[in-house]
Amino acid sequence: MEQYVVSSRKYRPVTFDTVVSQHHVTATLKNAIKNNHLAQAFLFCGPRGVGKTTCARILAKTINCLNLTSDLEPCNECESCKAFNHSASFNIYELDAASNNSVEDIRALVDQVRYAPQGAKYKIYIIDEVHMLSTAAFNAFLKTLEEPPSYAIFILATTERHKILPTILSRCQVFNFNRITVEEIVGQLKRICETEKIEAEEEALYTIARKADGAMRDALTILDQMVSFAGNSITYKHVAENLNILDYEYYFNMTDALLNQHMSKALNLFDEVLLKGFDAHLFLNGLSEHYRNLLVCKDQATLKLMEVPETAANRYKAQSNLASTAFLLNALNITNQADLNYKTSRNTRLHVEVALIKMCHILSVIHIKADEADKKKTDVETSNVGAKNPAPIPAKQVAAQVSPKVSLSLNKAELLAQLKSKENQSKESEVVEQVHDNEIILTDLNEVSLAEIKAQFKAHLDKKGLKNIVSNFDTIQFEIDGTRKIIVKSLGVIAKVLEEEKSDLILIARGVTGFKPTVDIQTIKLEQQGTYYFTNEERFKKLVEDYPMLKEFAKLVELRAD
């Protein structure tokens, strides 16, 4: 039975040209070999699985090759290359500093430096995870690293550069390795799948690449795991199931529910996620990433930051068109705060559910804020347009300012339409308020116009949810004082609310009449207009006074006014 070799070893690069995503390092090293400008010590830094040790081995093999190719790659035919390929080279010494980090280990290495290479030009020492060396070991290594023999080259590799002593860093040429992008990992996985005759969905490979987090070795390890799980046909569902990754379909459905303000659907989706065994924190982070991708879709210049297959990208684009930037920014803020406070929460499920409920009402809050802004803008415009004791303007002058075709025969609706088309111009805006009855007749305050104002104002109160005021609207008295003033009389409880809605009443009256009337809110006493009961508590007390037996019944059944 043939011995199985894992993909990370089987497809490990053996030449500089086959190293993925580290061209800035390989090009520099090849030029150094070509110009014979090799340093005495190299330090390779970067995340795990990006090719640090691989490049160190390729460099060691290349500089000892007796017959380099024209593109400065090892020939694989000379004695030095064959010995290296069989891990039998006496001129390349590897040390794992994670398990050999004492002073004695470094002294043993320094002792070997004294011996010249056999059948090769250089003796190379590769020290992996060099940051694990103790301070005493580093100090024991300093002198040799600074002044090694001409045939000795040291290649140090580490994932944590900040732990290296500055005295070591100053003696090395430092090369920083990059994280491998998702696209580059996917490209390499596709080439390996073609070689191994593995059928894999593009979404599956993208999921593997994202899970690898920039490490090619991790991606190849996951690919082997998927082949063992699903055979030579790998689908996205196989990867999601085996790696315990939440299907992104849940995030699309959750976003649809939040955009449609379906709170029950959102909570049921979250419950389904938990029932499948997924962690609530994992779901929260995935939802944040989903919103981030939707936000990235808003601009063509940032589409490349998505790192998803084309099929998924089209779905993100479609949903991003439905979600406003304001919604996405607010949702990201909510999920970020929920993430920060997740670990300190005693009830994590409720913590996430509250975040979902907040996100369900984002659009309502945005609309309310927009309405408030429009109202404030309208109030400012109204106050700017209004003028005290305006001088009358002849009808001909008004008509000329509005449009050369406007005549005195225009009715109110036509005139207001003409004026509205010019409202951004201050002169025409002022004209609306300066028109007098004896010049152009607009609708005066009369019984007909007052009835229309009352009807619109009642609908406005109902729309704002002021149900108690609407149900007692008949108790409010509307009177006309002259042609430009409305007097509103009501009980003290209602008068306070009407005072807050006064500016809206003025706007409604102006829309009906064409001018800005004065509104005076007055409070009437109960004896002036009977007794009214507005709250549940007031009605309950009245019933108890009228029917004393109800009080005993209320105690018996624990009846309350609310």
Number of structural domains found in the chain: 5
The confidence score (pLDDT) of residue 328 equals 92
Q: Which of 159, 95, 150 is nearest to 128 (CA)?
A: 95
**Cβ distance 164 to 130 under 8 Å?**
yes
Residue 1 lies in a domain: no
Tell me which of 401, 434, 467 is where a domain ends.
Answer: 434
The pTM of the whole model exceeds 0.85: no
Query: How many Cβ atoms sit within 10 Å of the Cβ of residue 1?
Result: 3
Q: Are residues 286 and 229 in the same domain?
A: no
Q: Pick the residue with more confidence: 494 or 379?
A: 494
Q: Are residues 481 and 338 in the same domain?
A: no
37-53: b or e for each residue (b if 16 or more CB lie within 10 Å)?
eeebbbbbbbeebbbbb
Lowest mean pLDDT among 125-139, 241-255, 359-373: 359-373
**Euclidean distance between CA atoms 543 and 386, whole angstroms:** 50
CA atoms within 13 A on the CB side of 152: 17
Residue 477 lies in a domain: yes
- Alpha-carbon distances of 543 from 9, 475, 536, rounded to whole Å: 87, 21, 11
503: CATH: 3.30.300.180
Q: Are residues 148 and 47 in the same domain?
A: yes
Q: Are residues 22 and 124 in the same domain?
A: yes
345: CATH: 1.20.272.10
Cβ neighbors of 276 (< 8 A, separation 6 or more) are none
Q: Which of 256, 258, 253, 327 is nearest to 295 (CA)?
A: 327
The structure tokens listed for 4 are 């199985």
Residue 549 lies in a domain: no
Q: Are residues 341 and 418 in the same domain?
A: no
**Cβ distance 462 to 472 under 8 Å?**
no
The strand pairing partners of 42, in sequence order, are 155, 173
Residue 287 lies in a domain: yes
Residue 457 lies in a domain: yes
**Euclidean distance between CA atoms 370 and 364, whole angstroms:** 10
Q: Are residues 318 and 467 in the same domain?
A: no
Q: Are residues 99 and 169 in the same domain?
A: yes
Query: What pLDDT band is residue 77 in, cutting at 50, 70 and 90?
Result: confident
Sequence letter at residue 253: N
Q: Are residues 142 and 23 in the same domain?
A: yes
Percent helix, strand and coil across the chain, each to the nearest 5: 60, 10, 35
Long-range pairs, 531-537, Cβ under 8 A, ≥24: 532/472, 532/475, 532/491, 534/468, 534/472, 534/493, 534/494, 535/468, 535/561, 536/561, 536/562, 537/561, 537/562
Mean pLDDT, to the nearest integer, of 246-258?
A: 91
15: CATH: 3.40.50.300
Query: What pLDDT band is residue 534 in, cutting at 50, 70 and 90?
Result: low
**Cβ distance 205 to 190 under 8 Å?**
yes
Q: Are residues 284 and 349 in the same domain?
A: yes
**Euclidean distance between CA atoms 48 and 62, whole angstroms:** 23
Q: Pick the residue with more confidence: 32 or 300?
A: 32
Percent with pLDDT over 90 in the chain: 36
Tell me which of 176, 205, 223 is where a domain ends.
Answer: 176
Residue 546 lies in a domain: no
Mean pLDDT, to the nearest integer, of 229-233?
A: 89
Q: What is the pLDDT of residues 302-315, one digit of tens each?
A: 887 887 887 788 88
Q: Which of 137, 136, 138 is nearest to 172 (CA)?
A: 138
The structure tokens listed for 334 are 């909510």
Q: Are residues 140 and 77 in the same domain?
A: yes
Q: Pick the residue with more confidence: 59 or 394?
A: 59
Mean pLDDT, to the nearest integer, of 70-85?
A: 87
Max Cα–Cα distance, the chain, nearest Å = 118
Residue 554 lies in a domain: no
Q: What is the pLDDT of residues 171-225, one digit of tens each?
A: 999 999 999 999 999 999 999 999 999 999 998 999 999 899 889 999 999 999 9
The strand pairing partners of 190, in sequence order, are none
Q: Are residues 210 and 86 in the same domain?
A: no
Domain with 207, as residue range(s), is: 182-242
Residue 560 lies in a domain: no
Q: Are residues 430 and 460 in the same domain?
A: no
Query: What pLDDT band is residue 347 in, cutting at 50, 70 and 90?
Result: very high
Most confident stretch, 84-93, 264-273, 420-429, 462-471: 264-273
